[in-house]
Amino acid sequence: MFQMLRNAAIAVTVSMNAVVWGSLPGVAAEAPPATPWGQAFFPNTVLINQDEQPVHFYEDLIKGKVVVVNFIFTSCTDSCPLETARLRQVQRLLGDRVGRDVFFYSISIDPQTDTPAVLKQYAAKFKVAPGWQFLTGNEDDIVELRRKLGLFIEGVDNGRSTDHNLSLIVGNQATGRWMKASPFENPYILADQLGNSLQNWKLASAHQDSYANAPEVRAPGLGEQIFRTRCSACHTLGHEGEEATGLRGVGPDLLGVTRQREGAWLGRWLKEPDVMLAEKDPLAMSLYEAYNKVAMPNLRMADNDIAEVVRYLQEETDRQQPLAHRAGDEAHAGHAGHEGHHMQ
């Protein structure tokens, strides 16, 4: 089921996420011509944020704003942590524009469990910066809101919180431009949509360049694809670390991990981290404690996918840290060994 949802989310992204709600029956007649997605379309659902403040979905959260909205639940052990980690990267890229030009909203689909206090602790665990609200409320109202936003799948979301629509909604309520996006989208693409195209999409770009100057695109292998879509939400890999991108991972940098961890342990950690944490595997527990108690999610990867990811990590390690420089690796072992392979 998780694989099916992942493929569905990626399919939405590949199709450029062009979801235009103006085609819904009756919508255009209920709102001003400039943008049919006004108060007549969006419910003004009352929600409670992590600071126990009541807010109205339309009036307080989205009216006249550029926003990203997703639905999560804090007890989720697979997709939701990845969504939160990916949006955390986007927030880092946008900086202090979040809360000023762009607004982030994560709404719980399990409000009975996710009280404001629980949501506040969840946000702190991921070191979320200001400008991003985590919200809860009445369950029936939230279901209706998800239906209105096109983020409720009949037969999947009906009463089964472990399976839910993973898509995000991003948009500009003032202009009426809305689209779906995958939580596995590249953070730079999401940041550009929120910080640029949704802000000034009616204006021609002042930057003009030729395709002749475009860099050569290298086709990634399966292991690299999996790492970039799934693992990079929480991890960096050497040259893609914080120094190069400004993005600090939720978990450790993974360059050199294949040299520092036994193959059997690493393979099992990728396959069933939840089981290893339940068993209180010493290394797994030390990583859990070292990285703010954000549990490594079970990505439901097949053995072949695991082998390809490990191969990619090894290839990148060999490329960036040739064995001739192994002495330097050993000197760095105290730091890298502590980070290990969290894969959260």
pLDDT in tens, 98-135: 999 999 999 999 999 999 999 999 999 998 999 999 99
Is residue 237 a part of any domain in this protein?
A: yes
Q: pLDDT tens, 158-175?
A: 655 555 667 889 999 988
pLDDT of residue 339 exceeding 80:
no
Q: Please check whether residue 309 is in contact with residue 226, taking contact to mean a CB–CB distance below 8 angstroms.
A: yes
299 and 167 assigned to the same domain: no
Q: Please check whether residue 182 is in contact with residue 9, taking contact to mean a CB–CB distance below 8 angstroms.
A: yes
Instruction: Return the pLDDT at 16.
Output: 34
- The CATH number of the domain holding residue 241 is 1.10.760.10
Among the residue ranges 6-20, 141-155, 235-249, 307-321, the one predicted with the least confidence is 6-20
pLDDT band at 155 (very low <50, low <70, confident <90, very high): low
10 and 139 assigned to the same domain: yes
Q: Which of 277, 297, 317 is nearest to 231 (CA)?
A: 297
258 or 229, which is more confident?
258
39 and 179 assigned to the same domain: yes
Instruction: Return the pLDDT at 200.
Output: 65
240 and 175 assigned to the same domain: no
194 and 228 assigned to the same domain: no
Is residue 173 a part of any domain in this protein?
A: yes
Q: Which residues pair with 103 in a beta bridge?
A: 67
Instruction: Return the pLDDT at 210.
Output: 67
pLDDT > 90 fraction of the chain, expressed in percent and rounded: 38
Instruction: Return the pLDDT at 57.
Output: 96
pLDDT of residue 222 exceeding 60:
yes
| Interval 245-269 mean pLDDT | 83
pLDDT band at 217 (very low <50, low <70, confident <90, very high): low
Is residue 139 a part of any domain in this protein?
A: yes
pLDDT band at 228 (very low <50, low <70, confident <90, very high): confident
225 or 286, which is more confident?
286
Is residue 98 a part of any domain in this protein?
A: yes
Segment of 152-166, 237-251, 294-308 carrying the highest mean pLDDT: 294-308
Domain boundary among 200, 233, 248: 200
Instruction: Return the pLDDT at 197.
Output: 85
Q: Which residue range is the domain that position 161 belongs to? A: 2-200
Is residue 320 a part of any domain in this protein?
A: yes
Domain boundary among 167, 200, 233: 200
Instruction: Return the pLDDT at 206.
Output: 57
Q: Hey, what are 89's tokens?
A: 């990267």
Q: What span, in angstroms and rounded, lies between the C-alpha atoms of 102 and 83?
A: 17
Is residue 61 a part of any domain in this protein?
A: yes
Instruction: Return the pLDDT at 319.
Output: 85
Among the residue ranges 44-53, 107-116, 183-192, the one predicted with the least confidence is 183-192
Instruction: Return the pLDDT at 35.
Output: 63
Q: Which residue has the tokens 């939840």?
A: 274
Count of structural domains, the chain: 2
- The CATH number of the domain holding residue 124 is 3.40.30.10
* 68-106 CB burial, b ≥16 within 10 A, e <16: bbbbbbbebeebbbbbbbbbbbbbbbbeebbeeebbbbb
Residues 6+ apart with CB under 8 A from 144: 43, 45
pTM for the structure as a whole: 0.64
103 or 328, which is more confident?
103
pLDDT > 70 fraction of the chain, expressed in percent and rounded: 71
167 and 252 assigned to the same domain: no
Q: What span, in angstroms and rounded, lies between the C-alpha atoms of 192 and 205?
A: 13
87 and 193 assigned to the same domain: yes
274 and 182 assigned to the same domain: no
301 or 166, which is more confident?
301
Instruction: Return the pLDDT at 133.
Output: 97
Q: Which of 82, 75, 74, 67 is nearest to 5 (CA)?
A: 82
| Interval 141-158 mean pLDDT | 80
Q: What span, in angstroms and rounded, lies between the C-alpha atoms of 83 and 87?
A: 6
| Interval 37-44 mean pLDDT | 82
Q: What span, in angstroms and rounded, lies between the C-alpha atoms of 232 and 240?
A: 9
3-state secondary structure the chain: CHHHHHHHHHHHHHCCCCCCHHHCCCCHHHCCCCCCCCCCCCCCCEEEECCCCEEEHHHHHHCCCEEEEEEECCCCCCHHHHHHHHHHHHHHHHHHHECCCEEEEEEECCCCCCCHHHHHHHHHHCCCCCCEEEEEECHHHHHHHHHHCCCCCCCCCCCCCCCCCCCEEEEECCCCEEEEECCCCCHHHHHHHHHHHHHHCCCCCCCCCCHHHCCCCCCCCHHHHHHHHHHCCCCCCHHHCHHHHCCCCCCCCCCCHHHHCCHHHHHHHHHCHHHHHHCCCHHHHHHHHHCCCCCCCCCCCCHHHHHHHHHHHHHHHHHHCCHHHHHHHHHCHHHHHHHCCCCC
293 and 326 assigned to the same domain: yes
Q: Please check whether residue 247 is in contact with residue 187, taking contact to mean a CB–CB distance below 8 angstroms.
A: yes
Is residue 206 a part of any domain in this protein?
A: no
Q: How far is CA 255 from CA 26, 92, 337, in A?
A: 54, 22, 11
Instruction: Return the pLDDT at 247.
Output: 54
Q: Which residues pair with 70 in a beta bridge?
A: 106
Q: Which of 191, 184, 47 is nearest to 105 (CA)?
A: 47
Instruction: Return the pLDDT at 288.
Output: 87
Instruction: Return the pLDDT at 53.
Output: 96
Domain boundary among 145, 169, 200: 200
Is residue 87 a part of any domain in this protein?
A: yes
pLDDT averaged over every residue in the chain: 78
Q: Give me the phi and psi of 105, to 5 degrees please.
A: -135, 120
190 and 239 assigned to the same domain: no
Among the residue ranges 52-66, 185-199, 319-333, the one predicted with the least confidence is 319-333
Q: Hey, what are 9's tokens?
A: 């989310």
6 and 130 assigned to the same domain: yes
317 and 190 assigned to the same domain: no
pLDDT of residue 55 exceeding 80:
yes
